[in-house]
Amino acid sequence: MRKREIDRALAGAYPLDRAAVARLPLQAAEDELVGQIVAEPQEPPALDAPSQRRSRSLRWRTRFAGLATAGAIATAAFLGLTGSGHGPAGTAEPAYAAELVRLAKISPPILFDLPNWRVAVTEVRQAAEGFTEFQVGIQPQQDPEKNAKFHWHSKSVQARAGELTTHGAVEVGTAPVLETEATIYEYPPAGKPVFELVALWDEGGHAFEFRTSVPGIATFERRLLALERVDRDRWLEVVARDLGSVPVKTVVIGQDGSRYVYTCVNGHPVHPVPRSVLPKGSSPCPSLTPAPQDRDRDDPPQASI
């Protein structure tokens, strides 16, 4: 049985008629119950300890207020808050750099909800393709198990599955992810002590993919279940928090088909841009619209991660 069938069978086994329960003529008995309950004594509010805690936290809050203000100014300066961001100036609404807001609009709002993991990179190749990479711990680049990558593709699951198998991945089963079921592929271990596993599932006709290296399938399933669909505000909040000190990367395909990676801060590229090779009218940082000659670039198996 598949997950959907299990859930349907469970829901079908519900023993009550919910609407009938709501209509039960119990108002008088319930009013009496409520009257009896509110006649009972309430637990006295703990006056001592909580008030001490409260005043201590207030002190901490006051002490941190100065630091927080300084931090906010630094972050605002970094993110280039010009009023064109997410919230109007002068309100408590968060405001984000224009690049980040654009990224949020075109990226699937999916995050990885495991303690201490953070967004390391989020990259959009074109409107319907990109990835978000998550990392944990110190020097994650040196340990494949400290990395996890969520990709979204413009191609279909079938097309992407074909690419994975062409690269040597083998289908090994299924596992739940984001209220659906993913097909799991494994790359040959090639003597490595970890499994490199890929989950592939359909999202509105496009392939979504999650890949990471793990010591066993249980860890993979746990990581897969940690993928979480959030709203755009939450996505912005987490990505801005995690990438606060890391500039945003964009990818532009040049006139010659070459792939240029730009590091943008405050809407401007950090490094000089050879504009002569870029498609006319394109700008590497603010423009994340589809590049005209975007090549279908497939990620090779994550041997290097």
Partner 1 sequence: MARALAEAHFTRLYGEYGRDVLAYALARTQRPEDAADVVAETFLVAWRRAADVPSGTTARLWLFGVARRVLANQRRGEGRRTRLAERLQTELPAAVATQPEADGDRSAVMGALARLGEEDREILLLAGWEGLGSAEIAAVLGVSKVAARTRLHRARRRLRKKLALKEDGAVVPCTCELELEEAR
In the complex, the residues that contact partner 1 under the rule CB under 8 A are 1, 3, 5-7, 9-18, 20-22, 24-26, 28-30, 32-34, 36-38, 40-43, 45, 113-115, 175-176, 221-222, 225-226, 228
- Minimum separation from the CB atom of position 250 to partner 1 (A): 31
- Minimum separation from the CB atom of position 40 to partner 1 (A): 6
Name which of 42 and 139 has its Cβ closer to partner 1: 42
Name which of 10 and 138 has its Cβ closer to partner 1: 10
CA distances, 138 to each of 3, 142, 146, 191, 242 (Å) = 37, 9, 9, 25, 15
DSSP state of 97: -
What is the C-alpha to C-alpha distance for residues 121 and 100, in angstroms, rounded to an integer? 12
DSSP state of 270: S
Tokens of residue 293, six digits: 């000659």
What is the C-alpha to C-alpha distance for residues 223 and 301, in angstroms, rounded to an integer? 19
Strands 170-177 and 259-265: unpaired
- Minimum separation from the CB atom of position 115 to partner 1 (A): 8
- Which residues are CB-contacts of 48 (< 8 A; sequence separation ≥ 6)? none
- Minimum separation from the CB atom of position 247 to partner 1 (A): 30
DSSP H helix total and E strand total for the chain: 8, 12
Q: In this structure, what are the phi and psi dihedrals at residue 289, rounded to the nearest 5 degrees?
A: -75, 160
The one-letter amino acid at 219? T
Name which of 43 and 256 has its Cβ closer to partner 1: 43
Name which of 101 and 230 has its Cβ closer to partner 1: 230
Name which of 115 and 191 has its Cβ closer to partner 1: 115
What is the C-alpha to C-alpha distance for residues 4 and 247, in angstroms, rounded to an integer? 41
Name which of 12 and 90 has its Cβ closer to partner 1: 12
Largest CA distance in the chain: 81
- Minimum separation from the CB atom of position 217 to partner 1 (A): 12
- Minimum separation from the CB atom of position 222 to partner 1 (A): 6
Compute the Cα dihedral for 183, 114, 239, 253 and give only its sign: negative
- Minimum separation from the CB atom of position 144 to partner 1 (A): 21
Name which of 5 and 256 has its Cβ closer to partner 1: 5
